[in-house]
Amino acid sequence: MSYGLRKFLVAGHVARDVLIRIDDCDKLPRPFKKLLKVSTPVSKLEETLGPGWNLDRVLEVLEERSIAPICCSYGGRGPNVAYGAALLGARVELVGFVGEDFGRPYPGFYDGSYREHLERAGVVLREIRVEPGDLDKIDCNCGLFVVEGRETPTVYCIEDLAGRDFYLIDDVRGAHVFASTARVPEDLVEESSGVFVTSGEPEFNSRLIESARSRGKDVLFDLGAYRLTPEYLAEVVPKCSIVMGNEYEIEFVERVLGFKDPIEMLEEYDSLELVVEIDKNSCTAVLYGEDGARRLGPVEVRDRVSSVGCCDGFAAGFLAMYSLGYDLEVCALAGLVECSSVWRVKGVQEGMLKKEELFRELKRLCPSLN
């Protein structure tokens, strides 16, 4: 595998995905409307849905509306992006929090354990085993924290026939909750060209972004709709080089930060160079930069099996080409090609392309690459 010159850290939740396909989100109980389009921690279900709602009750409702067998796959936005980018030749290292089961081949894991699967793709993994109470005391040059006595969290990915989706993240048993107090691996930040930060614990993400920005590194921030608060966004967005998200996420950022559009945001924040708005359903993207707005796509979606993880595919393609030095439009086109590919499978990483596959399609869409 040939690597680009620039290495990126990829930080985000590591998870085992449970894929649940239902008929129609509108037929779920009324409180479920609060779950649509966002990622909700399991610990917040009763607060979000009302008294008496817990994970077991929610899963019972979802199983009643299920139209396909429930299955498992490799998941979590961080490793999804790292895996896809590594397949395309990017040099990436995963930063995340996992349990003692990280080496276990769960049913549905088609390529062995999660550790083996990522290493085969070329993702750099440097691990340290830690007790939960020691995470705030350890300075290390490792990006992967194996938390003793915990398991890698489960993410429930729910999608209906119209492609509307939402996610439930098990923060009760999952190791990722300890990220809130963990120290950032400063040595890894120092040796990298930048960081790609996606859905994860805001406290850790904020420290990682600050560490990268203070060293003059690139900061790519994928909004991910998980625990996005006005305070979190106000702290990290001004430090980012690139911000990406879907229409709902970008509009939320504009609203809470007081901007009428992404162009205003770019004018306000000196570090911010690009805002990318992704529409996975139409497989298009709008790039907001110093020259205004540019719309790319649509890229044809040949088979619409599942929309789960399509934005992760976009992020993987974009990051890979960005790390390899391509211009931003080519990066976004690569993201859309990956988005289209993930559409055709049940799972996420199952749909990620190899380098030769991506470039074959890119050259068709962008003849100047020939």
3-state secondary structure labels for all residues of 53-120 = CCHHHHHHHHHHCECCCCEEEEECHHHHHHHHHHHCCCEEEEEEEECHHHHCCCCCCECECHHHHHHH
Chain Cα centroid distance, residue 280? 14
Beta bridge pairs of residue 275: 243, 288
Task: Please determine, for residue 28, whether its predicted confidence score (pLDDT) is greater than 80.
Answer: yes
- Sorted by where each starts, the structural domains of the chain and their CATH numbers stand as 7-369 (3.40.1190.20)
Task: Please determine, for residue 190, whether its predicted confidence score (pLDDT) is greater than 70.
Answer: yes
Please check whether residue 151 is in contact with residue 173, taking contact to mean a CB–CB distance below 8 angstroms.
Answer: yes
Q: Which residue has the higher pLDDT, 232 or 370?
A: 232
In tens, the pLDDT along 309-338 reads 999 999 999 999 999 999 999 999 999 999
Q: Confidence band (pLDDT; 50, 70, 90) for 370?
A: low
**What is the distance between the alpha carbons of residues 290 and 113, in angstroms, rounded to a whole number?**
44
**Identity at 170, one-letter amino acid code:** D
Q: Confidence band (pLDDT; 50, 70, 90) for 135?
A: confident
- Residue 312: half-sphere exposure toward Cβ, Cα within 13 Å: 31
pLDDT of res. 4: 47
Quick one: 163 exposed, middle or buried, by C-beta within 10 A (0-12, 13-18, 19+)? middle
pLDDT-above-70 percentage for the chain: 98
Q: What is the CB neighbour count within 10 angstroms for residue 122?
A: 18
Q: Which one-letter DSSP state was computed for residue 22?
A: B
**What is the distance between the alpha carbons of residues 105 and 133, in angstroms, rounded to a whole number?**
27
